[in-house]
Amino acid sequence: MKVIAGNSNRPLAEAISAALNVPLTKASIRRFSDMEVFVEILENVRGEDVFVIQSTSYPANDNLMELLVTIDALRRGSARRITAVLPYYGYARQDRKTGPRTPISAKLVANLITMAGANRVLTLDLHAGQIQGFFDIPLDNLEGAPVFVRHIQETTKAGEQLVIVSPDVGGVVRARAIAKRLDADLAIIDKRRERAGVSEVMNIIGEVEGRRCILVDDIVDSGGTLCNAATALMKEGAKSVSAYVTHGVLSGGAVARVSSSPLEMLVTTDSIQATEAVRVSRNVRQLTIAPLIAEAITRISEERSVSSLFN
């Protein structure tokens, strides 16, 4: 097995490498003067089972090109099998036509990864399940739920009543799965989105008064939806509100918005490398997914079941 790290999230790649007890393969990933990506694999990969770890987070286009060029370099270096490990799959929110003459960029990115030479993909909490069908190669979609469930159990006081809250109707399946693991009740936020990036909370479906509310989602970008939901829950008498979100995009002033909101804590994974604002924030935390991804990589390499990780 060979493990190669792109530049998008080096700390996570190093943690995965340590968990696997496999050193990162030496590679040079750099830019020409006009910012073209150049990749050179500095070790022999002929006949090897290679895993390329690269989130397509900000800057999304640069990191995507790094991934594609690295895969091409490995294919031309005669790697036996190439697995693209994307802890965060960028462009996933563009998974359908939202109006006339708009793209389905999630499908385009799937085509690019496949045509570059990847044999399979390993990712975490896709924004929409149907994206798995955009690939004509095997894809394993890991769940961040076990990591979150463990942390929620560790931070819940004895006798405290929990309710898992979906911030929108589309996230009900994800929230219900976590509620079932925790044997907790489920609530749903009914919101109306007037335009992209702006949401308005309308109604809360479920009993939240006097309870510790846990908002669950896959991506937090501007933070507006979560902050509005937290405000609405507190108005309905919630004891406290925390949020567990797999991918902390947290663009623009999102961290400041979360810090000034009623959210007691926003917990994300390290699928996207933490910015300085995240590191110093009073109420934003990161949990590592390195052991989970390392175990999945081991099982893929040994041709064992990945889905049984979540049974």
Torsions phi, psi of 11, nearest 5?
A: -60, -40
191 given a catalytic annotation: yes
**Residue 221 labeled ligand binder:** yes
Q: Which of the residues 180, 191, 235, 239 is marked catalytic?
A: 191
**Residue 223 labeled ligand binder:** yes
**Residue 127 labeled ligand binder:** yes
**Residue 57 labeled ligand binder:** no
**Residue 193 labeled ligand binder:** yes
**Residue 206 labeled ligand binder:** no
**Residue 93 labeled ligand binder:** yes
**Residue 183 labeled ligand binder:** no
Three-class SS of the chain: CEEEECCCCHHHHHHHHHHHCCCECCEEEEECCCCCEEEEECCCCCCCEEEEECCCCCCHHHHHHHHHHHHHHHHHCCCCEEEEEECCCCCCCCCCCCCCCCCCHHHHHHHHHHHHCCCEEEEECCCCHHHHHHCCCCEEEECCHHHHHHHHHHHCCCCCCEEEEECCHHHHHHHHHHHHHHCCEEEEEEEEEEECCEEEEEEEECCCCCCEEEEEEEEECCCHHHHHHHHHHHHCCCCEEEEEEEEECCCCCHHHHHHCCCCCEEEEECCCCCCHHHHHCCCEEEECCHHHHHHHHHHHHCCCCCHHHHC
**Residue 168 labeled ligand binder:** yes
**Residue 225 labeled ligand binder:** yes
Residue whose pair of structure tokens reads 């979360």 in the numeric block: 258
Where is the binding site for ATP, in residues? 34-36, 93-94
Which are the catalytic amino acids? 191
Where is the binding site for Mg(2+), in residues? 127, 168
Where is the binding site, in residues? 34-36, 93-94, 127, 168, 193, 217, 221-225
